[in-house]
Structure formats: C-alpha cells, structure tokens
A and B are shown apart, each in its own frame.
Chain A
C-alpha cells in the first residue's frame, strides 16, 4: 500500500518527456490497426482530414494503442474517439478538457489528445478552456473550428462571423465572434498553433509539434462543414483561389505580443506556430508537491502515515 504505483503508471504525476518512447520490440501500427468505426461524417467534411492526419501521426511516431487516449465532448467533430482504435472517451458537451485533465494529472504515462468543436470548446466549454490553459496541464487540444454548430444543424457558433445566416440568426449573426487564437494566448496556453484541414502536411506538422510540447498545447484547425457552412475557408485554400500564409520566418514564437498581433490579422490570417514557450506544467508542480510531502514519510506504509495523523487527534 505504501507504493500505489506500478511500473506502468506512477501515482506521482511526472511530466518529464511524457510522450511515450516508441517501443522497439513492437512494430508500429498500420493505418488499418488504428482505424476503428467508419466515420459517420458527411462526405467531404473537413473532419476526415484531421482524423487521417491523427492516424498518420500515430503511425509515423510509432505510438502504441494503449498509450493513446482520445477524448472529446459532443458535436460532429467530437465523434472522433469512436473512429480511433485506442482507449477513448466520448464525454459530455463542453467538458472534455477537465475530463482530459483528470486523465493527464493521474496518468503521466499516457498521451492525452482532446478533439472538439468551436461550440464545445469556446461556448459551453469556454471557462474550462481558460482554466486548463492557465494551469498548463500537459495535453493536446485540437479545436476543429467550422464556424457553426454542425451536429445540431446550423445554429450560430461563438466563432461564426458577423452576418452569418444561421437558423438562430436568420438575418445574419449579430454577436461579435471570439478569436480562439487570442483566447488561447491570453489564457496562458504555452503552445498555440493554427492550421487548416485543406493543408494535410501542415496539419501533421502542427500535431507533431503539439504532441512534443511539454504543457498545454492548442491547435486551431479550420475544418469545413460542407453541409452547413460550405466555402467558409476558401480564402485560405489555394486550390479554391485563396492564399495560405505561413507564419513569417522572422516571427519570434516566444514573443507573446507578436503572437497576439499575428492572431489579429484579418481572415485568412496566418498558419503555423504563433506561440511556444516552456514553463513548468501543473503535472510537474504537483509531482514536486508530492515529492516534498513523500520525503517526510520515507519508508512508511500508507496506514502508518494515517496513523501518525490520528495520533495527533487523540
């Protein structure tokens, strides 16, 4: 009882290189082994490419089934975990980040990925986003932003641009949209990147960088809803006559103000890593608290530690 940890899962959260090292004995997974149910998304939905690149990253980085946890809330994009052959959780609307934090803080051996929609992460889950970011909990959060509520069939979302005609704003959206990139930077996220489903190589690059980041990593990934907001992102897609502006090579990713300015650019804006700094994660801080506490009770079994407390209550 004194050592509640096993080799697989230390009870003391530790954050150092939490990305599991590839196991040399097991050969990497094939796409077939990673894919589970056939996605229920509409043909042409941007979410397909996000899923395909998640598979590609798992394949390329030789992650093992049991070390991946895929977590989501509710929405079209949040169907994600059903399509991945790994331990997954389909949680409730808006609350995927605290759920994922519970996994990350109790299981440093797992890599935790959260996928969600703009409504899920920034409307009903807005407050959780802020607090998960500020606590710098080690996990990767991908917002599959389609500027609309897909699953509930075309209502205004917190990222819908002014004037967007939805079923809840038939005359066009009147509420000012939020900017997820600014939100993430302001909340204290330590890795903030932007990508779009129409540029697969770029999505993969961002996902890998996010996974390698020791802290809360956030990606805004534009992902077109062909059913309810067709063409929303054409201006960012060179194949549709738009332009894909990479973050300028001169940009300093440690400069918060510069990152904020990049996030302020009018659509289609920039794509790439806006902000990337290292600061101690909550995982590491809690591990520090535990190490300090455990130091005082070396060699004692749990019941003996509790006995000491009870002895003072006599």
Chain B
C-alpha cells in the first residue's frame, strides 16, 4: 500500500499530541499508566483517524465499528485519542482519575462516550469482542470489531479460550492487535513469564498472523489493510512496540508501566515531544 507522506505525517502529528496528553493526564492525576499508553498510541491513532467507522457526534451509533481496549489500564491513550477525535473535549481529559470525572482510571463504557468496553481486568476483551462480532454477523452488518491486547495479558489463560473460539466460529469481522512491548507490571515479560514464540502460538490456533513495527505509521496502515483483507476468519497483528515510546526516560523502562511523571519529567517529556510546556 502506498501512503502519501502527508497522511503519514498528519497521523504522526496527532499521535505526538496524544503523547503529550498522556503525559499531562498522568502527571495531573499523579497516577496512571503512561508506558502502555505510549506504546499503543500510534496504532490507536491510525485506527481512529484512518480506519474505524465511528461517529463522535453519535457515540452510541449501533452500526459503528467497535474498538475494545482490553488492556484497559492504558486508558490515557484511549482518552487522548477520543479527545483528538472529538468524542470528548480536551478539558474532559482533566477529569482522569478525578471523582465524578468521565475519564475513569480504567476505560469504562458507562462513563466515557466512545468507549465500547469496561476494562480493567485483563484477559476479558477478546471474549467480549467475539460477542460484538457475532452480533454483527447476526445483524448481517459489515461492521468490524478491533481488539487490542497487551503482551503480558496473553498470560491469562482465558485469552486462549477466546482465541480458540474466535477461530472456531471463523469471525472474519474480528481483528486483534497485540501491543508487544515486552514489559508488564512488575518487570519484563521474559522475567515474569516467558511466552516464547507468540506469533506461532496464534498461528497454532489457526489464525493468520502479521508482525509489524507498531510505531511505523506505514507499517501500521499496511497491517490494518492486511487485516481487513482477511474476511473468512479472524486475523491478528502482532505489533512490536516500545513501552514508553517517545519519551526517552520512559522507553523500555518497567518503572513507567504504572508511574506518573514528576514536574521535571513532564517538562522534559513535553520538550522531547516538541512542546514547550505551554503549548497544548
């Protein structure tokens, strides 16, 4: 697929703004999950700004494509993209983790327009996505369901119940993306519980697999197009990503799975992203 540079550059710029939102949100809340938000955000940007059929002015539009962020702790990334897309306002982002705020700690369909699944407990999103996909099939709708999983999340056994079921039912409207950043909560995935050849595990269950660089906009768009081209069963994109991507001291650093930046770190991070701190 040939992508004109302008489109790629536009998406990269949206992602850059989202990264700044992620830093500001977690900094303001003095809590939250920046690492996995930064690793997923390029993919979310491509999905929301290039692929998903959604209506920010009608978030509950029944025939929308669904996006299930199964790794729901990476909510700052989700809220950032929802704000950039116009589902929520930029000032809503200030309600992240604040009592009564629409941006709950973990993404929640009852609280935030544009969120399709109440997450927070890992290992649930793919199963829920299967339900959405079966519903679309029964409705004879063209809509698709996209599910994003973390790599640590794959250690939950019930994920593999879902992997089996989605293939058994040949859900051609179901697309999965694994954010393979190599880090989970306490430490690196390979320290916590090695999973060896993750693409082979999916293909062992009968899924077509495509491995991409989850920070290369061209490759992401190609991957999405590839997943869309598979209509006779589910497809999975394994995206190699860097946890904390875009902020040097967060990159590949397990400490920033669930820790907010300090004042100085916020300033440095924004500067690295090309914001002077006052911008945004």
Q: A and B, one complex? A: no
